[in-house]
Amino acid sequence: MLLSGKEPSNSMKRDAAVLSEKFEKNFSRKPCLAVVFVGSNPASTVYVRNKKKACEETGMGHLDVDLDENISEEALIEKVKALNSDSNVDGILVQLPLPKHINVSRVLSYISAEKDVDGFSAENLGKLLTEEKGLVACTPKGILYLLDYYNIETEGKNVVVVGRSRIVGKPIAALLEQKCRNATVTLCHSSTKNLDFYLKNADIVICAVGKAHVISEDMVKKDAVVIDVGTNRVPDASKKSGYALQGDFCYSAEDGGDLKVTPVPGGVGLMTVSSLMDNTLIAACRRMGIEKEDL
Ligand code: GUN
């Protein structure tokens, strides 16, 4: 079975649109996301376009901050600081990756936690671990929504997360081991010995490696749930663009067969964008002194 991201992400966006309209009625302005894009990375160009489109679909505003590839780290930090103090901006997203001469962690550390709709800051990641109210990273948040949407139980399940990134691996592992999810989580990475052993015992596998087809169906249980976070560009002469998108996971049956698997494209990526809209709304409400549930 394929776990499409289309229906759950549309459902999330519909809810965001309703709340966004209420927000505008209450506060006479739209929630607003600042989208900072440095350079012209082709994959990022597509992601940024999709994020802005989602803002428009859900009745939110976006402030486009397009910056030259050669911008200095200090100048980028000054931009971030200006957005922190801009009262019309509710959320700040700095699209990654950044050019090599820029220290990503340093730049992200300047985004104020209240506007950190990516949930990448030390403060928001810390709050995730202490289970305090903060902003949760979009891809992990989207994965949880997708699991709930398809009624996939996590209680007592063995979950293997492959990949330890700050964007996906670490936060999804932390979220799934919380009492409200109660999964037993194993976090595997590039130095894990005998990955096959862990995968064979996993009820749910979260592939967040970032390498095309590194995990294949013969490595997981026959009826495993596989959440594929990878969106890898591989050369494909049959496509107009010259490339195709492939996940980290490789399976043969078009519909996944006995597996429950998220397709690439059309799976987790859609959930990430919808979660960003939800986070922007949450951040906007908190800046106005309320929770989105109070709208
Ligand atoms: N690049 C790839 N994924 C993401 C994401 O979720 N947020 C940001 N800011 N950049 C990314």
1: amino acid identity, one letter: M
CATH at 98: 3.40.50.10860
Is 178 found in the same domain as 86? Answer: no
Q: Which domain holds residue 83?
A: 23-113
Mutate to test the pocket of ligand 1, among 52, 118, 135 (most ligand atoms within 8 A of CB): 118
Q: Kindly state the tokens that stand for 141.
A: 């948040």
Could you tell me if residue 74 is inside a domain? yes
Q: Are 249 and 219 in contact (CB under 8 A)?
A: no
Judge if 163 and 241 occupy the same domain: yes
Question: How large is the average pLDDT for residues 3-9?
Answer: 98
My answer on whether 150 and 213 are in the same domain is yes
Structure confidence at residue 80 (pLDDT): 98
Q: Report the alpha-carbon distance of residue 210 to residue 229 in Å, rounded.
A: 8
Query: Does any ligand 1 atom lie closer than 6 A to the CB of residue 167?
Result: yes
pLDDT tens readout for residues 28-78: 999 999 999 999 999 999 999 999 999 999 999 999 999 999 999 999 999
Distance from chain centroid for Cα 141: 7
CATH code for the domain in which residue 209 is found: 3.40.50.720
| Distance (Å, whole) CA 71 – CA 101 | 9
Tell me if 158 is assigned to some domain.
Answer: yes
Instruction: Please list the residues that pair with 215 across neighbouring strands.
Output: 249
Claim to verify: residue 99 and residue 219 sit in the same structural domain: no
Task: Tell me, using a 6 A CB cutoff, whether residue 55 lines ligand 1.
Answer: no
pTM over 0.95: yes
pLDDT tens per residue across span 219-276: 999 999 999 999 999 999 999 999 999 999 999 999 999 999 999 999 999 999 999 9
Longest CA–CA span in the chain (Å) reads 57
> What is the count of structural domains for the chain?
2
Peptide bond into 265 cis (omega under 30): yes
Report yes or no on 127 lying in a domain.
Answer: no
Give the residue numbers annotated as catalytic, written as ranges: 51, 95, 118
pLDDT in tens, 142-157: 999 999 999 999 999 9
Q: Is there an atom of ligand 1 within 6 Å of 93 CB?
A: yes
142 lies in the same domain as 264: yes
- Same domain? For 257 and 147 the reply is yes
d(CA 70, CA 102): 9
Residue nearest to atom 8 of ligand 1 (CA): 95
- 100 and 34 within one domain: yes
H/E element, 123: helix 122-130
**pLDDT on residue 257:** 96
